[in-house]
């Protein structure tokens, strides 16, 4: 654990200092390589598997470097062979599309509802704010799991089971408080002088929000929206319980279903990994785009 | 008889009241829809869930029959309850310690200067962005007893002599699932710890060095105290996630082999959606929420003290 202080612990004599510095930087590189293997290794292994033909995947011992690369696992997902009925893996593109529709709707609704509310919580009358902010804080603690039973019962009554709309509503529940929380911070950072100037120039409250605050918060809107998209795309238990057929399956329950076929002779492992890579893609891109905001995100959206 | 000043005061008051009134209308109009959505999709289902936990629900007609707290009693007396509770605590304990240790270790490495550090810092968040289903497939494939790369590497290194069915051995499965879980939860801790490490003043290290403190003592007396708040945050978030882990276990092991990875969330899911005892399932999920409320109290009490407001 002394790794953090290693460059600080140089002994006094010149010769031994040089030797010490060398051994220390050598140690740091070993540690960095171990960290890199731990973080990136599983990704690379999955990526490699998705480009390997089936008989390479099922060879013992596994080949660390594949003999040949293939795109068949990806092509096969999007094409049903003529004369055969589509397997579970051929449903993946439709399920990716479902997820795309659901997560985009969740993103749009989060901004639509969240931005005005966040603005008021950053700028509105003080007596309005305190209780609500505390309430939002508390509602972020509500785990998605406890919503499984009520949403299942309510949606069965309302005939929203197995519909994209139902999943969107459920995902809105777990993302909106977080969105408001992030956006509130961004609106609070808009210089008050600009808004005052707009008001003095005759802008009403709504127009000040629309033409001053909102354009200055574009980055915040993008961050909050993409986080909401990622939460919805990655969410599993609600999506599992509230859908029942490929018509509405989002990609996470679909992937879990495909994985549960493991061991069955008809499971094409190649398809499993190309499907995994495709469903991991969007959140990976978002994560790389939003790394700077991850601290905030990690703090605020802790419970996935 | 009112003086001019009094009149002016009254009219300014009137204006102020009017102004505030408009503000309130504006505030309600702007925040109202969002608050209604939160109330309808979060508060109402929570209350409805509590009501469900007090009823016996017919799975076909969804008819409710009020039975009081009986569901909580039968949830606790479920033959798998104690196993699930033990597994949950063990899993949460493993993942909490794992997240703190891995998170701090990786953060300390990434805090050192080395070529490629920027790249490694960028990709370190990736496991955190993965869904638990993806984590399950990725690690399940690594742990695969026949085709898995873990067996191959360990055999090449001479650590094992024959392949091990990692996920079919009830004595080790929980540990391996916890390992996969830590892979996906540690990046969050890394991000928190890196920020905390950046916040420790270098002057403190210099002062400690002048005072003759060695590397270990500087770590112990400068670094660790500077990480207290970050550690508290990591501990609490990791506890919440560890106690509630569901998706990874659902996909990777399905609570097995046997009951070796049957945790409370998995048991509650089984009771609700497999046995279709909806009331009892709601009671068990709700008990998880009571645990959360306890933790939430600690969370708010420790993390949202006014002096930490600046760290938000």
3-state secondary structure chain A: CHHHHHHHCCCCCHHHHHHHHHHHHHHHHHHHHHHHHHHHHHHHHHHHHHCCCHHHHCCCCCCCCCCCCCCHHHHHHCCCCCCCCCCHHHHHHHHHHHHHHHHHHHHHHHHHHHHHHHHHHHHCCHHHHHHHHHHHHHHCCCCHHHHHHHHHHHHHHCCCCCCHHHHHHHHHHHHHHHHHHHHHHHHHCCCHHHHHHHHHCCCCHHHHHHHHHCHHHHHHHHHHHHHHHHHHHHCCHHHHHHCCCCCCCCHHHHHHHHHCCCCCCCCCHHHHHHHHHHHHHHHHHHHHHCHHHHHHHHHHCCCC
How many C-beta atoms lie closer than 10 Å to residue A240's C-beta? 24
The structure tokens listed for A248 are: 């509405």
Task: Round to whole Å and give the CA distance between A248 and B227.
Answer: 45
- Contact (CB, 8 A) for B190 and B107: yes
Rg (CA), chain B: 27
Using the Cβ of B172 and the Cβ atoms of chain A, whether some distance falls under 8 Å is answered with no
Using the Cβ of B267 and the Cβ atoms of chain A, whether some distance falls under 8 Å is answered with no
Fold of B79-311: MetI-like fold (1.10.3720)
pLDDT of amino acid B161: 87
pLDDT of amino acid A246: 87
Chain B residue numbers with beta carbons less than 8 Å from the beta carbon of A7 are: 112-113
List the one residue out of A224, A201, A220 whose CA is nearest residue A211. Answer: A201
Report the pLDDT averaged over residues B285-292. 83
For chain B, give every domain's residue range. 4-53, 79-311
For chain A, give every domain's residue range. 1-41, 91-300
* B137-146 pLDDT tens trace: 999 999 988 8
pLDDT of amino acid A84: 60
pLDDT of amino acid A85: 62
Please give the ipTM for the structure prediction.
Answer: 0.88
Q: Is it the case that residue A164 has pLDDT exceeding 70?
A: yes
Q: Is it the case that residue A259 has pLDDT exceeding 80?
A: yes
Using the Cβ of B278 and the Cβ atoms of chain A, whether some distance falls under 8 Å is answered with yes
Q: Is it the case that residue A1 has pLDDT exceeding 80?
A: no
pLDDT of amino acid B309: 44
Task: Round to whole Å and give the CA distance between A39 and A32.
Answer: 10
How many C-beta atoms lie closer than 10 Å to residue A26's C-beta? 10
pLDDT band at B296 (very low <50, low <70, confident <90, very high): low
The structure tokens listed for A53 are: 């033909």
pLDDT averaged over every residue in chain B? 86
Using the Cβ of A236 and the Cβ atoms of chain B, whether some distance falls under 8 Å is answered with yes
The answer to whether the CB atoms of A58 and B147 lie below 8 A apart is yes
pLDDT of amino acid A116: 94
How many C-beta atoms lie closer than 10 Å to residue B165's C-beta? 15
Chain A residue numbers with beta carbons less than 8 Å from the beta carbon of B38 are: 136, 139, 173, 176-177
| CATH superfamily label, A91-300 | MetI-like (1.10.3720.10)
- Contact (CB, 8 A) for B104 and B111: no
Task: Round to whole Å and give the CA distance between A43 and A34.
Answer: 15
Find which of A53, A99, A131, A148 to mutate to test the B interface (most B CBs within 10 Å of its CB).
Answer: A148
How many C-beta atoms lie closer than 10 Å to residue B224's C-beta? 14
Please tell me the distance in Å from B108's CA to the nearest CA on chain A: 5
pLDDT band at B20 (very low <50, low <70, confident <90, very high): low
* B211-236 pLDDT tens trace: 888 888 888 888 888 888 888 888 88
pLDDT band at B13 (very low <50, low <70, confident <90, very high): very low
Comparing alpha-carbon positions, the chain B residue that sits nearest to A230 is B129
């Amino acid at each position: 654990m002394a790794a953090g202080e290693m460059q600080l612990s140089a002994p006094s004599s010149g010769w031994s200092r040089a030797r010490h510095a060398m051994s220390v930087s050598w140690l740091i590189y070993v540690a960095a390589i171990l960290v890199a293997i731990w973080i990136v290794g599983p990704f690379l292994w999955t990526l490699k598997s998705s480009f390997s033909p089936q008989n390479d995947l099922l060879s013992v011992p596994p080949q660390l470097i594949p003999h040949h690369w293939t795109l068949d696992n990806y092509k096969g997902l999007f094409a049903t062979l003529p004369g055969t009925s589509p397997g579970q893996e051929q449903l993946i593109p439709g399920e990716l599309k479902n997820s795309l529709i659901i997560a985009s709707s969740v993103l749009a609704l989060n901004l639509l509802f969240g931005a005005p509310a966040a603005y008021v919580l950053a700028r509105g009358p003080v007596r309005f704010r305190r209780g609500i902010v505390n309430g939002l804080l508390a509602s972020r603690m509500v785990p998605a799991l406890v919503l499984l039973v009520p949403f299942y019962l309510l949606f069965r009554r309302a005939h929203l089971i197995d519909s994209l709309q139902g999943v969107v509503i459920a995902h809105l529940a777990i993302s909106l408080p977080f969105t408001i929380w992030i956006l509130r911070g961004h609106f609070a950072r808009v210089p008050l002088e600009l808004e005052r100037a707009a008001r003095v120039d005759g802008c009403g409250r709504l127009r000040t929000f629309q033409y001053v605050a909102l354009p200055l918060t574009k980055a915040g809107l993008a961050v909050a929206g993409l986080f909401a998209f990622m939460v919805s795309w990655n969410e599993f238990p609600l999506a599992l319980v509230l859908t029942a057929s490929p018509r509405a399956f989002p990609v996470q329950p679909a992937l879990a279903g495909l994985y549960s076929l493991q061991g069955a002779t008809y499971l094409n492992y190649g398809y499993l990994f190309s499907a995994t890579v495709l469903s991991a893609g969007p959140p990976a891109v978002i994560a790389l785009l939003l790394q700077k905001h991850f601290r905030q995100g990690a703090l605020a959206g802790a419970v996935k | 008889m009112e003086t001019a000043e009094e009149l002016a005061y009254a009219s300014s008051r009137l204006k102020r009241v009017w102004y505030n009134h408009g503000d309130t209308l504006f505030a309600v109009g702007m925040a109202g829809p969002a608050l209604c959505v939160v109330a309808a999709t979060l508060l109402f289902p929570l209350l409805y869930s509590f009501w469900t936990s007090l009823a016996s629900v017919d799975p076909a007609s969804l008819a409710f029959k009020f039975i009081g707290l009986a569901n909580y009693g039968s949830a606790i007396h479920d033959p798998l309850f104690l196993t699930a509770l033990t597994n949950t605590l063990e899993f949460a304990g493993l993942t909490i310690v794992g997240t703190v240790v891995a998170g701090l270790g990786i953060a300390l490495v990434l805090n050192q200067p080395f070529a490629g550090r920027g790249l490694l810092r960028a990709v370190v968040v990736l496991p955190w962005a993965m869904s638990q289903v993806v984590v399950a497939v990725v690690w399940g494939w690594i742990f695969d007893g026949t085709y898995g790369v873990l067996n191959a590497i360990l055999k090449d290194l001479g650590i094992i002599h024959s392949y091990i069915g990692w996920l079919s051995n009830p004595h080790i499965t929980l540990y391996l699932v916890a390992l996969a879980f830590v892979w996906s939860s540690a990046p969050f801790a890394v991000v928190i710890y890196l920020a905390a490490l950046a916040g420790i003043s270098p002057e403190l290290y210099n002062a400690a060095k002048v005072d003759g403190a060695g590397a270990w003592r500087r770590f112990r007396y400068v670094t660790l105290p500077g990480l207290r708040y970050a550690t508290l945050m990591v501990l609490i978030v990791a506890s919440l996630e560890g106690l509630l882990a569901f998706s990874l276990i659902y996909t990777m092991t399905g609570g097995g082999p046997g009951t070796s990875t049957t945790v409370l969330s998995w048991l509650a899911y089984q009771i609700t959606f497999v046995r279709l005892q909806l009331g009892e399932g709601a009671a068990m999920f709700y008990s998880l929420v009571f645990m959360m409320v306890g933790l939430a109290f600690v969370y708010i009490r420790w993390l949202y003290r006014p002096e930490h407001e600046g760290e938000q």
